[in-house]
Structure 1
Amino acid sequence: MAAPWSLGLCRRAGARALSAVLHSQPRELCLSPPRRYLSNTEGNCLQFKLDERTAHSSLDLFKKDTGVIYRILGLDPSHVQDNPERFRDWAVVFGDGRVESGRHYWEVTVRKSQEFRVGVAEAAMSREDCVGTTSCSWVFAYVQRKWFAMTTNKMVPVSLAGKPERVGLLLDYDAGWLGLVDIQKPRVIHRIRARFSGPLSPAFALWDGELLTHSGLELPEGL
């Protein structure tokens, strides 16, 4: 079992959630009602569901595999179908979509979660690792009411982003970056630069609460 969370370390699934959380209320990142999107380029509407074959035994999918909830006890690993695609040590699940070109946008609704990661990873990433700790995964991590951009186990603080309710992710595969989007504006708050060289999958890690994904969205106007 890994030590309690600290910068640069990813806690293993099943570890206790953070017991102390800051009481200050930062500026809300995204509280806007559903908005209308306009398409700039054809073929940019990535549609995906969460892939149960990849889900760690502590993660339970719901709402037709578009949502995921963290179960503290989780399922008995011996009762989970053995699959080489499944994450075994970390509370991670992939989306079943694959991206090899273009710009793609999706959103995530956050419910009662104080620690999670959202982003992308190479579809062939080792299931022994956690997203954000390797050179083939790029995520935005939220913990202790702070945001970080994370890859290769290095974490960079993200400013101008408060407590999440719903966030957007914009992937520009050809230009080589993943952006965290404030959907109120909309605008890209922070970009993670990378050189993508293979198929990418939407990636999620969760240690409490639940996340709901919204895919098949067209690019927001102005992005």
Structure 2
Amino acid sequence: MAMSSGVVHLCRLTGRSLGTVLGYSRGKPLTSRRWYITTSVTNNLQFKLEERTAHSSLDLFKKDTGVIYRILGVDPTLVQDTPLRFRDWAVVLADAHIDSGCHYWEVTVKKSDEFRVGVADVLTSRDECVGTNSTSWVFAYVQRKWFAMTSGKQVPVPLVGKPDRVGLLLDYEAGRLSLVDTQKVQVVHTIKTQFRSPVCPAFGLWDGELLTHSGMEIPEGL
């Protein structure tokens, strides 16, 4: 059954709920414009969130290192329309361009029951949600459970509860993205893949707020 125009408009305003739909691609090409920062080859990757990629329901704060979800957000017609922006999904990308090395960052999440953290190709489709295509790899928290996601496939992650802070460990050459328990300083789950193009940290948020912590050394023992 087709959705009414009002429902479609509401979905666009709210960035849709990741707990209800997985999304689709409309096959629109994405510009190859180089919007990212220079390549980082060291272990202490530092980044900010890129406002030009943020859905209109997301507000950046704390010098673009954090993001807050607004129920309806800004009317999409009032936000600068660029090929970099996610128009249907409450997603924002970081301004980092990673094509080598091992990197670690952490994320603090407050008052949120639905979010995704991981990486995506720099030029991943803006018409799909991160985790639903083959160019993004994320860990999703929804309905009090954790999942590893890519290409729309969900694999349960045995992480009990929702910690306030989690870590992400990326080994580009090895094709490994790991979710880290920051309290125990241990890997909880690893997504294995083969990165074929530059990637950047990616975040989806459907309520609450999220704060990123970059410029960190990889903890000993990981």
TM-score, scaled relative to structure 2: 0.83
Deviations 1:18-70 (A, max 9, x none): 7xxxxxxxxxxxxxxxxxxxxxxx81111000000000000000000000000
Whichever residue aligns with residue 133 of structure 1, its letter is T
Aligned to 1:124: 123
Q: Which has the higher helix share?
A: 2
Aligned to 1:173: 172
Shift of 1:185: 2.0
Cα–Cα, structure 1 residues 172 and 72, in superposed 2: closer, same or farther, change >3 Å? same
Q: What SS does the corresponding residue of 1:73 show, helix, strand or coil? A: coil
Q: What SS does the corresponding residue of 2:214 show, helix, strand or coil? A: strand
After superposition, residues 1-223 of structure 1 pair within 5 angstroms as 14=14, 15=16, 43-223=42-222
Aligned to 2:36: none
Q: Could you tell me whether the CA contact under 8 Å between 1:109 and 1:211 is conserved in 2?
A: yes
Higher mean alpha-carbon deviation, 125-134 vs 156-165, is at 156-165
Higher relative contact order (CA 8 A, sep 6+): 1
Q: What SS does the corresponding residue of 2:215 show, helix, strand or coil? A: strand
Whichever residue aligns with residue 153 of structure 1, its letter is G
C-alpha RMSD of matched pairs (Å): 1.8
Whichever residue aligns with residue 92 of structure 1, its letter is V
Count of paired positions: 192
Deviations 1:107-142 (A, max 9, x none): 000000000000000001011111000001000000
Q: What SS does the corresponding residue of 1:53 show, helix, strand or coil? A: helix
Percent identity of equivalent pairs: 69
Q: Could you tell me whether the CA contact under 8 Å between 1:169 and 1:179 is conserved in 2?
A: yes
Whichever residue aligns with residue 220 of structure 2, its letter is E
Whichever residue aligns with residue 80 of structure 1, its letter is V
Aligned to 1:5: none
In 2, the alpha carbon distance for the partners of 1:160 and 1:130 equals 23
Q: What SS does the corresponding residue of 2:77 show, helix, strand or coil? A: helix
Cα–Cα, structure 1 residues 194 and 16, in superposed 2: closer, same or farther, change >3 Å? closer
Q: Could you tell me whether the CA contact under 8 Å between 1:161 and 1:189 is conserved in 2?
A: no
TM-score, scaled relative to structure 1: 0.82
5+ residue gaps in structure 1? 3-10, 19-41
Which stretches of structure 1, 4 residues or longer, exceed 4 Å deviation after superposition?
Answer: 15-18
Shift of 1:166: 0.3
Q: Could you tell me whether the CA contact under 8 Å between 1:13 and 1:207 is conserved in 2?
A: no
Q: Could you tell me whether the CA contact under 8 Å between 2:13 and 2:76 is conserved in 1?
A: no
